[in-house]
Each structure stands twice: as structure tokens, then as C-alpha cells.
């Protein structure tokens, strides 16, 4: 039976980032096991928005760290990720003005380039937007977007090139703790022994945890995206708009506009999830976007899709050691906003696995036992995936 020092389960952007960071930290005998192909679940459906507006300091720090990693990705990892630095316009909902002020104060204290702006100034940042229902807005200079598929593939390839091993189209069927320490891992491609296991299994977390006898409180979260073609096009450098009053976001996609939302918790089996977009979504989101951006009145629907992420009870990631099972680490519950955090979280998890502690950013606020300890995290905004 092959023996590994660490097995990472799940080849989304988080599993791939952890895999790369473990290998580049010098750990030998690291295996990544993916049920299908790299980025075949939430990561491959993701909108790829990169922003720093967050309620929790740890998340702002992670977003800053990750943002730097995205900007240097091609040089450091050797993969083009189609990164665009277009900025982000954050539109607060009524009653959330103080929340936005607090959020912006925190970002500025930590070094993010962001300014509060008055509603009447919104069209200076994004021409033709109607913001008469917006009490306060902010513009974030350092925000952008990138291709999540390329990020995951880049990390997976880099980890493999540096000595890690990847098994694709291989499901982990069982993980059993051995009495003398370490784990036996049963997969479709054979059985393995390992000292440590990292679960980065997205929407599958609860089911995989149940096999280990642990409750990972993750519920599948449905997110939907539609691409609209505007007469006259939509420049790829137009800023992303995070529209809290309308619970939606939009950004440029090629010469078109990609609009999405992510609020639907669904108790579905991720294996059987239908990723096609119901037409009702297009009709409903079109109404909202036409109100905000009347140029969309004559837009036509080009394509659309849905994806499932795993949501935690407080919509913040669940990352860290599982106290009941020594050697087991989870990295799940990304709650619809985890792409942009993957470089920083992957690095932190690799540090934890390799050295037993965090060095770059302390991820203990995300600890899996925070719910049992009454330490669930809070969010400033009512749109949950804004977190
Ligand atoms: C439509 C949509 C839009 C989004 N937009 C944004 C955005 O703009 N910005 C942002 O930051 N985030 C966004 N997100 C969220 C972000 O994409 C996710 O948080 C992130 O991709 C999660 O990555 P992951 O690696 O944790 O999970 P996943 O990408 O879901 O990967 C988990 C992997 O585990 C594998 N797996 C499961 N069980 C097993 C098993 N037993 N054995 C082996 N493999 C297994 C699965 O096949 C899967 O590939 C969006 C998500 C969606 C769906």
C-alpha cells in the first residue's frame, strides 16, 4: 500500500492551492485526490470576483494576501489567469450605511485602497447607473476578477511539477483513523496510508464528514449566473458592481455583462445537482438589472449556469484542525465567496499541516469548533455572501 505524508481530498481551487503550498513548502509524498477533474465543481462555475470588502479582519487580510498572489500568478506559478484590475463599486442598502462606514474604515486601516462615495457620484465611477435607492457607496480600487478554473489548474500543475501526485476521476470512499496514528484512505483507485488528511470537498463536506463520524455543518448553496449581451457591448474594464439593495452583482465578461446572485440554500445531493439555469432566473434578474442599469433594457440573454458551493452556518469559511480526530484538517464552508481567498487559505492550511501552526495569517477565527463554543462569526451586511 502506498504511504503519503498528506492526502488532500478535493481538486477545487482550495484543494489545489493547499496541494501546491504543501509541496512548495518542501513536504514530500503529497497526494491530491479529485472525484472528477480539477475545478469541476464550484470553482469551475465561479464568477471570479476579487474584492476586499469584508466584515471580519481575518478575511480582509486573506483577501489582500490573495489579491497580491493573483497579480503575480503568471510570474510565480506560470499560468495566465486572465486577471483584470477593474475596481469595484459597492452599493449599500438602506439601513446599512454605518456597516459600510465600519467596513471601509477597517479596510483603510489594513491598507486597502477604498473610498466612500456619495450616491450622486456613482455615475462618475460607472456611467448610466441609477443609484436613487442607494444611501451610500464605496469604490475599491484594488478589486478585480480572474478565471478561477485557470487558478486551480495552475496550482495543481505547479504542485505536480514539484513532486506532488494527483489522482483524477477518483472518489475517496472512506477515511479511517488508525489506532497507532494516521489514516487508511480507501479510493476508487486503491487504498493508501497517510499521516494527515485535508478535506477540501466543498458542497460534499457534510456527507464526507459523516463517514468519519464528524458533523461538518455545511449546506449546499446555489449560485446562479447569466451572461447578457448589450447593444454596443460592455467594456472589460468597467467596474464590478456589488449591489446590496438588489442582492446581485455584475461585472464585464468578454464584451458582455455577467450578472449573478447567490442566496439559495438547498438540501440537495451535490452529485445530482442540475447546473442548467432556469429561465425564471433570467427574467427576474433582468428586471432588477434594468432598474439599476437601464442600458440593459435591450440586452439579450447569451448563456447562463448554476453552481453549488458549501455554506457554513455563519457564511464564513470553516478551516482548521478537527479536535476529535488528530491529523484531520478541514477547509470547507466557503459560502459563495471563497475563490478570492484561496491563495491565502491554501498557504495557511499548508503551514498548519506542515508545522502545526499558522505563520502568515492566523486562521483560528475560522476554527471548526467555533459553533460549539458559541464563537460564530458575524457579518455587517444582510446579503449573506457579502460576508
Ligand atoms: C456561480 C458561482 C459564482 C461564484 N462567484 C464567486 C466570486 O465571484 N468570487 C468568489 O470569491 N467566490 C465565488 N464563488 C464561490 C467560489 O467559487 C467557491 O467558494 C470556491 O470555488 C470553492 O472552492 P472549493 O475548492 O472549496 O470547492 P469546489 O470547487 O466545489 O471543489 C470541491 C471538490 O471536491 C471534490 N470532491 C468532493 N467529494 C470528493 C470525494 N469524496 N473524493 C474526491 N473528491 C471529492 C469535488 O469533485 C470538487 O471538485 C462562486 C461560486 C459559484 C458556484
Q: Residue 176 — very low, low, confident or very high, per pLDDT cuts 50/70/90?
A: very high
Q: C-alpha cell of 325?
A: 480526530
Reference 275, options 303, 312, 313; nearest CA is: 303
* Alpha carbons 285 and 351: distance in angstroms, whole number: 42
Ligand 1 atom closest to 33 (CA): 43
Reference 239, options 89, 25, 16; nearest CA is: 89
Report the residue among 69, 155, 211, 339 best suited for mutation to probe ligand 1: largest number of ligand atoms under 8 A from its CB.
339
Tell me: ipTM over 0.95: yes
Ligand 1 atom closest to 339 (CA): 11
Question: Picking from 51-60, 128-137, 263-272, 298-307, which range would have the lowest pLDDT averaged per residue?
Answer: 263-272
Contacts of 68 (CB under 8 A, 6+ apart): none
Separation of CA 42 and ligand 1 centre (Å): 3
Q: What is the mean pLDDT of residues 68-86?
A: 98
Q: Can you give the pLDDT at residue 262?
A: 73
Q: Residue 185 — very low, low, confident or very high, per pLDDT cuts 50/70/90?
A: very high
Report the residue among 260, 285, 309 best suited for mutation to probe ligand 1: largest number of ligand atoms under 8 A from its CB.
309
Ligand 1 neighbours, Cβ below 6 Å, are 9-15, 33-36, 40-43, 45-49, 148, 171-172, 200-204, 208, 223, 225, 260, 307, 309, 334, 336-340
In Å, how far are 60, 330, 359 from 19, measured between CA atoms? 23, 13, 17
Q: What is the mean pLDDT of residues 280-296?
A: 94
Ordered domains of the chain (ranges, CATH):
2-47+148-218+314-386 (3.50.50.60), 86-143+219-307 (3.30.9.10)
DSSP 373: T
Amino acid at each position: 500500500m502506498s504511504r503519503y505524508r498528506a492526502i488532500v481530498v478535493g481538486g477545487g481551487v482550495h484543494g489545489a492551492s493547499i496541494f501546491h503550498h504543501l509541496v512548495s513548502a518542501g513536504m514530500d509524498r503529497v497526494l491530491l485526490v479529485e472525484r472528477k477533474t480539477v475545478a469541476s465543481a464550484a470553482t469551475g462555475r465561479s464568477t471570479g470576483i476579487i474584492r476586499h470588502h469584508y466584515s471580519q479582519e481575518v478575511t480582509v487580510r486573506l483577501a489582500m494576501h490573495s489579491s497580491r498572489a493573483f497579480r503575480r500568478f503568471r510570474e510565480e506559478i506560470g499560468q495566465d489567469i486572465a486577471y483584470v484590475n477593474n475596481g469595484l463599486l459597492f452599493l449599500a442598502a438602506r439601513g446599512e450605511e454605518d456597516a459600510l462606514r465600519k467596513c471601509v474604515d477597517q479596510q483603510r486601516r489594513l491598507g486597502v485602497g477604498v473610498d466612500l462615495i456619495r450616491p450622486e457620484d456613482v455615475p462618475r465611477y460607472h456611467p448610466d447607473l441609477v443609484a436613487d435607492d442607494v444611501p451610500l457607496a464605496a469604490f475599491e480600487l484594488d478589486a478585480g476578477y480572474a478565471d478561477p478554473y485557470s487558478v486551480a489548474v495552475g496550482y495543481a500543475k505547479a504542485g505536480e511539477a514539484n513532486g506532488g501526485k494527483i489522482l483524477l476521476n477518483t472518489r475517496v470512499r472512506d477515511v479511517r483513523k488508525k489506532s497507532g496514528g494516521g489514516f487508511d484512505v480507501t479510493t476508487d483507485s486503491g487504498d493508501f496510508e497517510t499521516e494527515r488528511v485535508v478535506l477540501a470537498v466543498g458542497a460534499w463536506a457534510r456527507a464526507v464528514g459523516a463517514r468519519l463520524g464528524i458533523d461538518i455543518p455545511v449546506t449546499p448553496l446555489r449560485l446562479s449566473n447569466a451572461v447578457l449581451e448589450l447593444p454596443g457591448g460592455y467594456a472589460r474594464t468597467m467596474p464590478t458592481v456589488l449591489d446590496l439593495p438588489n442582492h446581485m452583482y455584475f461585472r464585464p465578461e468578454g464584451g458582455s455583462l455577467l450578472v449573478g446572485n447567490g442566496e439559495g440554500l438547498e438540501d440537495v445531493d451535490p452529485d445530482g445537482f442540475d447546473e442548467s439555469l432556469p429561465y425564471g432566473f433570467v427574467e427576474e434578474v433582468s428586471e432588477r438589472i434594468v432598474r439599476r442599469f437601464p442600458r440593459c433594457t435591450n440586452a439579450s440573454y447569451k448563456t447562463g449556469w448554476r453552481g453549488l458551493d458549501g455554506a457554513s452556518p455563519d457564511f464564513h469559511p470553516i478551516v482548521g484542525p478537527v479536535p476529535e480526530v488528530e491529523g484531520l484538517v478541514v477547509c470547507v464552508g466557503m459560502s459563495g465567496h471563497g475563490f478570492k481567498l484561496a491563495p491565502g487559505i491554501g498557504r495557511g492550511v499548508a503551514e498548519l499541516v506542515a508545522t502545526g501552526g499558522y505563520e502568515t495569517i492566523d486562521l483560528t477565527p475560522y476554527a471548526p469548533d467555533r459553533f460549539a463554543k458559541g464563537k460564530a462569526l458575524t457579518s455587517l451586511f444582510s446579503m449573506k455572501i457579502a460576508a
